[in-house]
Amino acid sequence: MILSGDEIQSRIGSDIVIDPFDTSKLNPNSYNLSLHNELMVYEEVVLDMRQANRVRRMTIPEDGLVLSPNQLYLGRTAEFTETHRLVPMIEGRSSIGRLGLFVHVTAGFGDVGFKGYWTLEMFAVQPVRIYPGVSICQIFFHEIRGDVQEYSSAKYQNAQDIQPSLLYQELNPNGQTEDPQLKLDFARRKKRKRVT
């Protein structure tokens, strides 16, 4: 059973956390989540499931950014969510879909107990201009039956940023296990400290 908008609002602060929460984004049976102002793209020509692939960040300016077809863009929601005793799921809004923009590639299914920002796997059918802060997708909640062990994976739980695939940790457990973007960000911060 899917929760109604009124039921979502009544569970805010208990089973559901959406931060920030704005009642104007509440729908009859979902809540609109907005797009953060950063994107990430892979720099590899061929993505390797068994390796950490290099990524590059970009900022979406206030006057928009045109997404190109045949390019995967990783984004994230501006809202932090946390869900207990319910299954969270995200889907694109119909207005976004009618522009030919997919907001996830088969990965809209969440886990009971997930908390963090949602990484969006964005793909455009044709060139489309996007803007920071736009209501990009909607989250909705299913009730679940039976005993539940909440999600606690070290890979994606408590996500504070856009999260590239960490599948390589499963397929290559003896190989690289550190997120290459975190290493790059650390190196940049260290370099800036030396300069100043």
What residue spans of the chain are helical by DSSP H? Answer: 5-11, 94-97, 167-171, 180-195
Question: What's the whole-number average pLDDT of the chain?
Answer: 91
25 three-state secondary structure: helix
Q: Quickly state the pLDDT bin for 152 (edges 50, 70, 90).
A: confident
193 pLDDT above the threshold of 70:
no
Reply yes or no on whether 121 is catalytic: yes
pLDDT of residue 188: 60
For 105-117, what is the mean pLDDT? Answer: 91
Task: Please state the φ and ψ torsions of residue 33, each to the nearest 5 degrees.
Answer: -105, 150
Task: Determine the average pLDDT of the residues in 50-74.
Answer: 97
Per-domain boundaries in the chain: 5-195
Q: From 175, 155, 176, select the one nearest 165 (Cα to Cα).
A: 155
Q: Which residues face 16 on adjacent strands?
A: 12, 83
Instruction: Name the pLDDT band for 95 (thresholds 50, 70, 90).
Output: very high
| pTM of the entire predicted model | 0.86
CB 164 within 8 A of CB 42: yes
Q: Beta partners for 73?
A: 122
Higher pLDDT, 191 or 63: 63
Q: 81: which 2 tokens?
A: 């969510």
Instruction: Name the least confident of 22-26, 97-101, 121-125, 178-182.
Output: 178-182
Q: CATH number of the domain at 5-195, out of 1.10.1740.10, 2.30.130.60, 2.70.40.10, 2.60.40.1180? A: 2.70.40.10
Task: Identify the residue with better confidence: 121 or 189.
Answer: 121
Instruction: Taking residues 100-107, report their average pLDDT.
Output: 92
- 157-163 mean pLDDT: 93
Name the 3-class secondary structure at 178. Answer: coil
Residue whose entry in the numeric block shows the structure tokens 């590899």: 44
The one catalytic residue in 43, 44, 121, 178 is 121
Share of the chain above pLDDT 90, in %: 79
